[in-house]
Structure 1
Amino acid sequence: MKSFILGAFFLVTFHLSQAQVKLNHIAVYVEDLADSKSFYSDIIGLEEIEEPFKDGLHIWYKLGSSQLHLIEGEWEEPTINKNNHLCFSIEDMEGFIENLKAEKVPFENWPGESGKITNRVDGVQQIYFQDPNGYWIEVNNDF
């Protein structure tokens, strides 16, 4: 009986500590902060927020209750795979794609077909493209 009570206490404690975890921010290392700022502000449409460093090497964006931090530094070319990507959800896929085309940002579906949209089995549409540093971005309409 004692081990059952301890086990139940452990499960409840473990569950409560899990429930208290939230995503604070995602940091993305960039080669050129100005290019990346333009991309994430103008193409993705993120809202810039104040950052505490004020050193010209950081830009912070609001992501719901989390943040995206862009950090410029001595650049080393990363190994980039489409499986490792940031994903943003939007309401208007058609309008977003029109903006990508106007800004001459190429996009593709998951298999890599240029200008195509992936239609998931659950009805969500997805597109993929790369930021100025080569990082993969997914945008979907699961808003």
Structure 2
Amino acid sequence: MIEFERLHHVSLAVRDLVRAKKFYSEVLGFPEIERPPFRSKGVWYAVGADQQLHLLEHPPGETLRTKGIDTTDGHFAIWVKSYSKTVAWLENIGVSYEARPDSVAGFAQIFILDPDHNIIELGAPYNS
């Protein structure tokens, strides 16, 4: 049996690395970390103490997601401390979201899209 320790990273395809970096650095505030000198273009971020997000610039002409938020589609989730503060931040900077403050998941959920329509879930304790 495989003995899992933790999730190491999630990789997402992006069309425009400069635009994606602006979103993940400025909107979400992820700190950039060093990336090995791969032949491909990309950027790595720290997400918490031990997890990472890797953005990889996808070759031109290839198809990526184009539709809006579909919570049954592939996505990654980040736990946040406060539902209300996160919603206030998103509204303040003009990021569209789908909120589920009373989700049956057992915690509040907020769904957003990055510029390439990758779905991001922000989970928080109820009433936080």
The TM tier, using the shorter chain, reads 0.7 to 0.9
1:140 Cα deviation after fit: 1.0
Per-residue CA deviations over 1:39-61 (Å, capped at 9, x if unaligned) read: 11222221211112277821101
**CA distance in structure 2 between the partners assigned to 1:70 and 1:135 by the alignment:** 11
Of residues 84, 92, 100 in structure 1, which corresponds to 2:90?
Answer: 100
Question: Which residue does the alignment assign to 1:77?
Answer: 63
% same residue:
29
CA distance in 1 between counterparts of 2:38 and 2:58 reads: 14
Q: Which residue of the other structure, out of 8, 16, 21, is the alignment partner of 1:37?
A: 21
Match of 2:118 in 1: 135
Structure 1 segments unaligned to the other structure (5+ residues): 1-13, 110-116
**Structure 1 residues 92 and 72, CA, compared in 2 at 3 Å: closer, same or farther?**
same
Structure with the greater alpha carbon radius of gyration: 1
Aligned residues: 119
If asked which structure has higher relative contact order (CA below 8 Å, sep 6+), I would say 2
Change in CA separation of 1:93 and 1:77 when aligned onto 2, cut-off 3 Å: same
Please report the RMSD computed on the Cα atoms of aligned residues, expressed in angstroms.
Answer: 2.3
Assess, with a 3 A threshold, how the Cα gap between structure 1 residues 54 and 118 changes in structure 2: closer, same or farther: same
Q: Give the TM-score taking structure 1 as reference length.
A: 0.71
Gaps of 5+ in 2: none
2:8 is matched with: 24
Q: Partner of 1:65 in structure 2?
A: 50
